[in-house]
A and B are shown apart, each in its own frame.
Chain A
Amino acid sequence: MKTTGLITRRQAIVAGLASVGGLVLARHPKDLPPTYGNLLRMGDTFTYAAHRGLLPHQSLVKEYRHADITSFPATGTTNPGVSEKSALGDAYRQLQSGAFADWRLSVEGRVTTPRSFSLAELKQLPSRTQITRHTCEEGWTAIGQWTGVPLSRVLDAAGIQPAARFVVFHSYDDWVDCIDLVDALHPQTILAHGMNGRDLPIQHGAPVRLRVERQLGYKSMKYLRRIVVSDEFDDGGKKGNIQNGWAWYTGI
């Protein structure tokens, strides 16, 4: 009798795990990033599928009080006008000398009306201010106040097409990265033009940077110049995280 009980339990465990696994992995293959036959990328994709399958899509990260704002290191690129020895660097330097009056953010790809926004136009759109914790992959954290336009509002203004699956970002420090629509349409995902009550400083990504609060800091791309709505995953090639050895999804 006892043996029968054990088998039933074992079956229950297997069935339970299989259903969790099914929930996690039963996603449209086009929604998942490729694994490139790489064991590490398979782990990343499993984590991504687990987060999207098991965690609520709309939960907000904690927001702090103004008194909680802390010192904030500037790492990675701190001025593309100095570090980028290319046309992009020249263009950034020129924009910077004109206080970014000529800066434009283009929104293109799978949208009904491709268009671009000047800094003034972005600042006129209804904004959101949030005090959140920045979590760097290195292990440090910092709290800052960010003011900007929800990305969902900008995408709405351009008219996102039903085929859209990812939103790709291009920056003046020649980086390419993308996020899925769950993060792109999240209420705390903003195009930030202000930090701690002032215009966004150069070293933190002026004139506009992305804030993706449910992922690590490196997903919050600085020095934005172009947004492409895509129906396909875009790893950015040599300018993207994956070919440089970094995970695409960093909610962990």
Chain B
Amino acid sequence: MVEVLDDRRRASGAQQPHARWVRISHGIVTASLLTLAFTGFVILMAHPRLYWGEVGNDLTPALFELPISRNYQHGGWDKSTPFFQNAAGPISANRTYDIFNQNGWGRSLHFLAAWWLVLPGAIYLVAGIFGGHFRSHIWPKVTELAPRLIWRDVVNHLRLRIPPASGGPHYGLMQKLAYSLVVFVAAPLMAATGLAMSPAVTAAFPSLLRLFGGFQSARTIHFFTFVALLLFVLVHVVMVIQSGFRRQIRAMTVGD
């Protein structure tokens, strides 16, 4: 009890704690991102080949193929038949292989989690822009962006000199840049490339497909943005542990 009061005093004195709406948003986004990452991987396992452009399938060349399920290079295809006179042109072939496919629940859970990211995410963006949260805490100040300061922060990170947790939104330069990239680049890109894979949405907004260069390009960008977000989450968790795990978790959940 005394400890808690001490923490509160420290927080109110030197530092402000995380606002309640920030803590709630963080909780929802965490749950939704973990679900999206898991189901996204399950969906990718059904067809672990990535392509560029509008079209890609087992009968066309892939950019690369990931060995993440029994579907990897399964080769279970019947003799191919050409559609036209030209034997080197487009072909068809019957699949004879029983593929791994858990997309029934995988896809539905993915989209359910996506709603929980997109709707609260939209509220977070509007509240953050108009409430001053981004200006005060997330966007780097112009004075912080001096090459000397950037260099110093990079060197400090490389030497693993992590300042102890403040328990509130008092962020370093690299941290601000990373959060800005995630909130304003990676997350919107994830949503936009996701929508570019929806046949109903792209019928209404064909510019989405033009923007990303086609359905399969959007799918590939969706995958690489996921990889970038995964790296962010790994570094984020390591930093939380390094800077005082218990303190940080308390600050982002109960808020003291």
Contacts and interface: CB of A to CB of B under 8 A. Distances in A.
Given A55-B200, A72-B59, A73-B58, A203 B99 contact: no
A39 B112 CA distance: 8
A215 B112 contact: no
A141 B200 contact: no
Interface in A188-221: 195-198, 201, 203-204, 213-216
B54 A141 contact: yes
A245 B105 CA distance: 6
Interface stretch (B123-131, B136-144, B159-167, B229-237): B123-131
Interface size class of B (residues with CB under 8 A): 35 or more
A71 B57 contact: yes
Contacts of B58: 73, 140
Interface residues of A, number: 57
A71 B203 contact: no
A56 interface: yes
B126 to A, nearest CB: 6
A74 B60 CA distance: 13
Interface string A52-80: 00011001111010001111111100100
Contacts of B202: 61-62
Nearest to A245: B104
B107 A251 contact: no
A107 interface: no
Query: Which of B49, B104, B203 has most chain A Cβ within 10 Å?
Result: B203
Contacts of A13: 123, 126-127
Interface stretch (A43-51, A152-160, A171-179): A43-51
Given A42-B112, A43-B115, A56-B204, 9 more contacts: A13-B126, A59-B204, A70-B59, A133-B199, A133-B215, A137-B103, A140-B49, A203-B92, A215-B200
Nearest to A202: B94
A121 interface: no
B201 interface: yes
